[in-house]
């Protein structure tokens, strides 16, 4: 009886494994994109934007907990650090945060998938994981800003890592850069571009995500959109690739309202991609616009539109996949 039982189990296990392997080899880029689900985004975001993280203020306990959350995720996924084994932190000394009253050291969190054919060419995916902390005992959870971009990057990394496991990893390398100090002056991305882990000359493009889980009140009647900013500023090629990817793999409307040079909000200058653009690296900034809970304690995970958030994350994944795998490197052809 015992022997029989074990044999039956073994057959079952072998059957499952081979089925999984076969599917793995046949997975398309859409299948990888579809591993990014609203359910997984939601599970992570509820933890990452929980009260325990205390609003993730740069240098404070909540930000350190958030950094650990990210590091643990990459370790669990088997995604390496580009710095040294098991150290995913790019440390930034306290003195660097000049605008803070009491400067405290902080860290960018980095993870790396090495390209299979052109490992020296790097695509940087970025999102800031810090937020504005607490005020009068109220926690600013920052679910949309920028819990949404942060968790999107984790899911994108997981999708790429699945492809790596199936022998379909990206041709170029991808650096997952979770920057700190954004809310107090884009410090983490500035520090990275002044102290790059990989030469900026080899950095092909930066796709930056800051707030992608909500709907701009102006778009409430046409919510199937994402604002793109900066895609055509340095590289027509990047802009064209981004449009072609969206056309083929997404039904989202790409809205360029805030890409207008004369837009008074000047969003192009207001998130981390700008530090890459300043260095002539082509960028795209993905954004949902501001809303009534922007920089308020009410920016909480229950207000996120998870299905829309998943679609937007999948679009960013597909664009990164294209930029990482296409034959020719994207160039800053508008310089």
**Under the rule (CB under 5 A), what is the footprint of Zn ion?**
145-146, 210
Rounded Cα gap, residues 69 and 53, in angstroms: 10
For β-strands 253-255 and 225-229, DSSP reports them as parallel
- Of the pair 210, 232, the CB lying nearest Zn ion is at 210
Instruction: Give the SS3 label for residue 111.
Output: strand
Rounded Cα gap, residues 72 and 75, in angstroms: 5
Shortest distance (Å) from residue 119 CB to Zn ion: 31
- Of the pair 158, 210, the CB lying nearest Zn ion is at 210
- Of the pair 121, 146, the CB lying nearest Zn ion is at 146
- Of the pair 212, 324, the CB lying nearest Zn ion is at 212
Shortest distance (Å) from residue 145 CB to Zn ion: 4
DSSP codes joined into one string, 70-88: HHHHHHHHTPBPSSBTTB-
- C-alpha distances (whole Å) from 118 to each of 69, 104, 112, 276, 283 are 30, 38, 14, 21, 20
State the helix-helix crossing angle for 149-165 and 306-325, rounded to 10 degrees: 50
- The residues pairing with 146 across neighbouring beta strands, listed in sequence order, are none
- Of the pair 113, 304, the CB lying nearest Zn ion is at 304
Shortest distance (Å) from residue 53 CB to Zn ion: 15
Shortest distance (Å) from residue 146 CB to Zn ion: 4
Are 284 and 208 contacting, i.e. CB atoms less than 8 angstroms apart? yes
Shortest distance (Å) from residue 209 CB to Zn ion: 9
- Of the pair 150, 259, the CB lying nearest Zn ion is at 150
Torsion sign, CA atoms 295, 301, 303, 309: positive
Shortest distance (Å) from residue 266 CB to Zn ion: 14
Are 95 and 103 contacting, i.e. CB atoms less than 8 angstroms apart? yes
Q: Which of 293, 292, 271, 144 is nearest to 213 (CA)?
A: 144
- Of the pair 210, 299, the CB lying nearest Zn ion is at 210
Shortest distance (Å) from residue 144 CB to Zn ion: 8
């Amino acid at each position: 009886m015992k022997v029989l039982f074990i044999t039956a189990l073994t057959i079952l296990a072998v059957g499952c494994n081979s089925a999984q392997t076969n599917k793995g080899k046949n997975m398309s880029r859409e299948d990888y994109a579809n591993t990014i689900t609203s359910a997984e985004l939601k599970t992570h975001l509820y933890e990452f934007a929980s009260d325990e993280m205390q609003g993730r203020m740069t240098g404070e306990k909540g930000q350190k907990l958030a950094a650990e959350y990210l590091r643990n995720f990459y370790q669990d996924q088997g995604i390496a650090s580009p710095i040294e084994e098991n150290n995913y932190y790019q440390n930034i000394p306290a003195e660097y945060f000049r605008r803070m009253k009491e400067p405290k050291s902080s860290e960018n969190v980095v993870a790396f998938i090495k390209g299979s054919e052109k490992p020296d060419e790097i695509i940087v995916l970025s999102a800031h994981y810090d937020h504005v902390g607490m005020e009068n005992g109220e926690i600013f959870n920052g679910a949309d800003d920028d819990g949404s971009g942060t968790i999107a990057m984790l899911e994108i990394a997981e999708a790429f890592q699945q492809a790596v496991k199936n022998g379909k990893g990206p041709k170029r390398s991808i650096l997952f850069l979770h920057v700190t100090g954004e809310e107090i002056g884009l410090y983490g991305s500035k520090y990275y571009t002044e102290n790059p882990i990989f030469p900026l000359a080899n950095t092909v493009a930066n796709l930056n995500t800051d707030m992608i889980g909500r709907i701009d009140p102006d778009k409430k009647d046409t919510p199937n959109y994402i604002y793109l900013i900066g895609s055509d500023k340095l590289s027509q090629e990047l802009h064209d690739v981004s449009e072609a990817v969206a056309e083929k793999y997404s039904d989202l409307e790409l809205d360029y309202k805030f890409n207008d040079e004369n837009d008074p909000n000047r969003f192009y200058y207001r998130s981390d991609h700008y530090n890459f653009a300043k260095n002539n690296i082509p960028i795209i900034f993905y954004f949902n616009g501001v809303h009534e809970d922007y920089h308020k304690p009410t920016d909480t995970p229950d207000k996120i539109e998870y299905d829309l958030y998943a679609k937007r994350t999948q679009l960013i994944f597909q664009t990164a996949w294209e930029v990482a795998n296409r034959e020719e490197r994207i160039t800053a052809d508008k310089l």
